[in-house]
């Protein structure tokens, strides 16, 4: 984090706080409530700020928490659904993208996967392939590395 000037880390004994800045928003993560309270007081003295409570979304990424199970996750389900609808490919077949445990991944493509009918060929020709791939790459880089292995665009 030394070279990323929008991420700040403070450690004290076994406690830490991480501040992530984006334009005029700050997200915090910590393992000690007192440390975050102290940091917020210092920030509010030095900067005009408004407490917004727990974040549910950041940069379009949904923040998912289950404190009872001590789980934290990130989801781009809404982004992916909007992207699929934007490119009119929301009705395409779903595929399991679980990563092979042996990491010996291979993607077997065949002619059977190609569009066959005139209707299928016209449909696929209307999809701006480069835009779809770049949209999927955004999701892949943020929360879904598994989608780089299997992407099916043809019904």
> What confidence score (pLDDT) does residue 154 get?
38
C-alpha span between 145 and 133 (Å, rounded)? 13
Q: What percent of the chain has pLDDT over 70?
A: 77
Q: What is the pTM of this model?
A: 0.55
> What confidence score (pLDDT) does residue 45 get?
93
| pLDDT tens profile 103-139 | 333 445 567 767 788 888 887 777 777 787 788 788 8
112-134 burial code (b ≥16 CB/10 A, e <16): eeeeeeeeeeebeeeeeeeebee
| pLDDT tens profile 49-71 | 888 888 888 877 888 888 899 88
pLDDT of residue 1 exceeding 60, the answer is no
Which strand ranges, in their side-by-side order, compose the sheet holding 57-58? 57-58, 61-66, 71-75
* Phi, psi values for residue 95, rounded to 5°: -130, 145
C-alpha span between 32 and 17 (Å, rounded)? 8
Q: What are the helix (H) ranges across 4-146? A: 33-46, 77-86, 118-125, 129-142
């Amino acid at each position: 984090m030394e070279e990323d000037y929008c991420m700040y880390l403070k450690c004290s004994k076994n406690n830490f706080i991480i501040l992530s800045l984006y334009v005029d928003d700050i997200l915090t993560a910590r393992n000690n409530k007192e440390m975050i309270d102290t940091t917020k007081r210092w920030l509010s003295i030095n900067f005009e700020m408004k407490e917004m409570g727990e974040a549910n979304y950041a940069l379009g990424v949904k923040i998912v928490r289950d404190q009872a199970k001590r789980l934290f996750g990130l989801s781009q389900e809404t982004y992916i659904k909007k992207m699929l609808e934007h490119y009119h490919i929301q009705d395409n077949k779903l595929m399991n993208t679980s990563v092979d445990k042996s990491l010996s991944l291979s993607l077997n493509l065949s002619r059977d996967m190609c569009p066959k009918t005139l209707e299928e060929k016209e449909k696929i020709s209307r999809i701006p392939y480069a835009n779809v791939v770049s949209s999927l790459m955004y999701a892949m880089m943020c929360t879904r590395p598994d989608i780089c292995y299997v992407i099916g665009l043809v019904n």
